[in-house]
Amino acid sequence: MSADSTMHNQEQIIRTLRGYGFKPYEIAVYLDVLKHDISTANDVAHRTKVPYGRIYEIIKSLLHKGCLQEYQTRPKTYRAVSPHILTDTLIEKEEEKLKLMYEQADSLRRELAKIAYGNGARYLINTILTSPEIVETSSKQIIHTKSSLVVCLDSCRLYEIYSDPRIKELWNSYLRILEQAINKGVPLKLLISTDGSKHTISQAKITNLVCAVLSPKILKFEKPLLEIRYFNGPITPFNIYDNDRVLIKIKDPAREGHYIGGILIFDLKLAKTMMEIFNTMWKRSNELNIKVLKNPRR
């Protein structure tokens, strides 16, 4: 093996051990004892140039990490554990740290969510009572969305948006926020249900409806920033933001196209489950070839 190759391997070992939390002096001492077998503290300090005033501190740390064995001789001597034992010990400790991180993750997520999204703890499971509140809540979440956005709607809701002038201003504000998100590079997948709707019987009608409800500035986007499909089956409308926040919208059984409430939930497991459901429906859906129509018909 060449000198260059040996030096490269040594540097790789040092980088890896530092990744496991070893400090430079700890690495130097462990590698020295590993190479020279049984050694006293004086031997190690002399060979590694570690300051004598720190050598026992370093050795104590390595004993605590399980990297050295101590022998009660006079003076005390030390031997490095075998590479196999060392790597197994390091992996076990990393697994323990990872387990602790998982246990702390929910608490950490809640605290970070308070900082990121405001409104305190109620934002972690937030009940929304009216359709306008749902639109406003979704708008706030879109503003904070950085990586992906999934929206599921039924065609009755789209028709209600199209035909009700009272929500036009709120919806236009929502579309502006949606456009800003896509402009920032957040891809949108919009899935529309056509099942059971008397307003959207054919693909042509659903296409016209989408063109009427979405703005031309949004419809100008193409894959992968914007994809729109329709699904012949029932959908409980929901949105997924950044794969960690889910907004579930509850339909009003007495009025088509209206919601009686919604629930915004911060939960990675739920978001993952909902994303799996969405992907299943997405694969079974049909793509809409959207063209901006000047005079869309109902």
On whether both 238 and 131 belong to a single domain, the answer is yes
Check residues 166 and 294 and name the one with the higher pLDDT: 166
Claim to verify: residue 129 and residue 77 sit in the same structural domain: no
pLDDT of residue 183: 94
Checking 278-284 for CB contacts under 8 A at 24+ apart, the result is 278/150, 278/152, 278/189, 278/191, 278/238, 278/240, 281/152, 281/191, 281/231, 281/233, 281/235, 282/189, 282/191, 282/229, 282/231, 284/231, 284/233
Structure tokens at 122: 């109620």
In a shared domain, residues 139 and 72: no
In 63-186, DSSP assigns E strands to: 68-71, 77-80, 125-128, 149-154
Query: Which range has highest mean pLDDT (97-111, 171-185, 205-219, 266-280)?
Result: 171-185
- Whether 106 is covered by a domain: the verdict is no
Same domain, yes or no, for 34 and 152? no
Q: Is residue 158 part of a domain?
A: yes
Domain count along the chain: 2
Q: Is residue 295 in a domain?
A: no
3 state DSSP class of 184: coil
Question: What is the reported pLDDT for 4?
Answer: 53
The CATH number given to whatever domain includes residue 141 is: 3.30.870.10
SS (H, E, C) 233-272: CCCCCEEEECCCEEEEEEECCCCCCCEEEEEEEECHHHHH
What pLDDT, on a 0 to 100 scale, did the predictor assign at position 268?
80
Confidence at 5, pLDDT banded by 50, 70, 90: low
Q: What is the mean pLDDT of the chain?
A: 83
The residue from 20, 52, 81 where one domain ends is 81
Pair (262, 192) in one structural domain:
yes
* Domain that includes residue 34, residue range: 3-81
How sure is the predictor about 114, in pLDDT bands with cuts at 50, 70 and 90? low
- Say if 91 falls within a structural domain: no
Q: Which of 50, 81, 112 is the last residue of a domain?
A: 81
Q: Do the domain assignments include residue 110?
A: no
| Band of residue 292 on the pLDDT scale cut at 50, 70, 90 | very low
Confidence class for position 118, pLDDT limits 50, 70, 90: low
Q: Give per-residue pLDDT as tens, 187-210.
A: 999 999 876 544 445 777 888 888
Whether residue 205 sits in one domain with residue 146: yes
Instruction: Tell me which of 13-27, 192-206, 229-243 is least confident.
Output: 192-206
Q: Average of pLDDT values for 23-32?
A: 94
- Asked if residue 34 is part of any domain, the answer here is yes
pLDDT mean over 18-33 = 93
User: Which segment, 80-84, 107-111, 155-159, 248-252, is predicted with the most confidence on average?
Assistant: 80-84
Read off the pLDDT band of 54 (50, 70, 90): very high
**CATH classification at residue 32:** 1.10.10.10
Please state the rounded mean pLDDT for residues 248-264: 81
Would the pLDDT of 124 be above 60? no
Q: Can you say whether the dihedral through the CA atoms of 283, 289, 295, 297 is positive or negative?
A: negative
More confident residue, 134 or 57: 57
Q: Which of 81, 111, 136 is the last residue of a domain?
A: 81
**Within this chain, do residues 156 and 47 fall inside the same structural domain, yes or no?**
no
**Do 133 and 257 belong together in one domain?**
yes
Q: Are residues 137 and 273 in the same domain?
A: yes
152 and 279 co-located in one domain: yes
Indicate whether 162 belongs to any domain. Answer: yes
Q: What is the pLDDT of residues 61-79, one digit of tens each?
A: 999 999 999 999 999 999 9
Specify the pTM.
0.57
- Asked whether residue 77 falls in the same domain as residue 143, the answer is no
Evaluate whether residue 53 is within a structural domain. Answer: yes
Query: Given pLDDT bands bounded at 50, 70 and 90, which one contains residue 158?
Result: confident
Q: Identify residue 269 by its one-letter amino acid code.
A: K
